[in-house]
Structure 1
Amino acid sequence: MTVSKSHAYFTAEEYLQLEHISPIKHEYLQGQMVAMAGASKAHVIITGNLSALLVNYLRGTAGIAYATDMKVRLPVLDVFYYPDLAVTCNDRDLRSDEDFIVHPKLIVEVLSDSTEAFDRGDKFGDYKSNPAFEEYVLIHQKQVLVERFQRKSDNLWIPYNYQEGSIIEFSSIGFTCEIATLYENLSQLL
């Protein structure tokens, strides 16, 4: 991610209007718009694989999975992020016609060299400010490795690591799958 050269201040409403017509995506951090970098082939494949699994899994339930282009708003911090994937089961999100959600249960980020430190650090810290947020998943794209963090209380997040041969569990939505399914069609890239 790179911060725009002009450090103009935008209100959240101005950001949403500009983002609606912008040819590139931006995250919003307390008045600053931050341009999003493009994704690698591996990143797109992993996100697509997981999105397909979750859309099918959640079909007919009160949950919905959003991939790539849905913003998560953190109103307390005045922030909008574009996670790689987010799941909400909150009726307020499901009934809203806004192009963002506020109550995600599960957020997934596919790690890249340029975003890994931010995804693990400040971004995760910001997501924790949302009481609806129960689970954070980091998927590596250069090796078969998934890290999951499950909220047990406001200040206690339990880490779980999954490697080749593992069955992954997202307990916030009761989902399981073989880790190999996430990395399907990537053998030539790993």
Structure 2
Amino acid sequence: MLTLKKKYSLTEYFEREILAETRNEYIDGEIVEMTGGTPTHNTLVVNLLSILHISLPDPYRVFVTDQRLWIPAQRIATYPDVMVIAEPFSYQEGRKDTLVNPVLIAEVLSPSTANYDRSGKFAAFRTIPSFQEYLLIAQDRIYVEHFYKEGDRWIFAAYERDETISLQSVDLAIATTAIYKRVNFELEASASEQ
């Protein structure tokens, strides 16, 4: 990720973001350019989006990579890969394009962001009162890290091939094979070697 060193106000960030050709995160005054995804990354996002969109009843809505999330306690504006929000939506004060009340967030891991997604970003997400569940989806193999809130504690589970993830916040079971449908690890590995 490329970090622009100047400190920006939130107003300046929103002004720049409206005109930007790329998506950028805002992290307490710094603007961080987000990298593009791979075909595998996009396939995993589409698969999870499709499953959630078809399966979740009202009042849940599913959002993907272009929907901005504001984390007020950390002063972070970010674009999760997949977010589930229960209606009614809550917006950042003064905005109609930035949500603040996700129930579930999923991120597809990439080598450049995996550590941040597991640590700093997850810590920031946990400051959101509505946030209950987090999925981290590997791109290089069938492996999903699942965190869910039980009372005041976060519980961890990991899932591999031919296992079923029981989402607690939205009462839904998802097979790992469905998340990884049409993902060809050999094809992706050979493309990255070229």
Aligned residue for 2:85?
88
Q: Within 5 Å, which residues of 2 pair with 1:151-170?
A: 151-154=149-152, 156-170=153-167
Tell me if structure 2 keeps the 8 A contact 1:28–1:80. yes
State the 4+ residue runs in structure 1 displaced beyond 2 angstroms.
187-190
- Cα 1:153–1:2 change in 2 (3 A) is farther
Number of corresponding residues: 185
For residues 98 and 56 of structure 1, the distance between their equivalents in structure 2, rounded to whole angstroms, comes to 25
| Cα shift at 1:136 | 0.7
For residues 181 and 71 of structure 1, the distance between their equivalents in structure 2, rounded to whole angstroms, comes to 26
Aligned residue for 1:30?
28
Aligned residue for 1:110?
108
Tell me if structure 2 keeps the 8 A contact 1:90–1:103. no
Aligned residue for 2:62?
65
Aligned residue for 1:3?
3
Tell me if structure 1 keeps the 8 A contact 2:106–2:137. yes
Q: 1:141 aligns with which of 126, 139, 142?
A: 139
Q: What do the CA deviations read for 1:93-115 (whole angstroms, capped 9, x no partner)?
A: 38x97222101000000001110
5+ unaligned residues in a row in structure 2: which ranges? Answer: 190-194
Aligned residue for 1:177?
174
Secondary structure of 2:74 counterpart? coil
| Cα shift at 1:89 | 0.3
Secondary structure of 1:157 counterpart? strand
Aligned residue for 2:73?
76
CA RMSD of aligned residues (A): 1.7
| Cα shift at 1:90 | 4.0
TM-score, normalization: structure 1? 0.91
Q: Percent of counterpart pairs with the same letter? A: 29
Counterpart residue type for residue 14 of structure 2:
L
Q: What do the CA deviations read for 1:1-38 (whole angstroms, capped 9, x no partner)?
A: 2212xx22222122122111100010000111000011
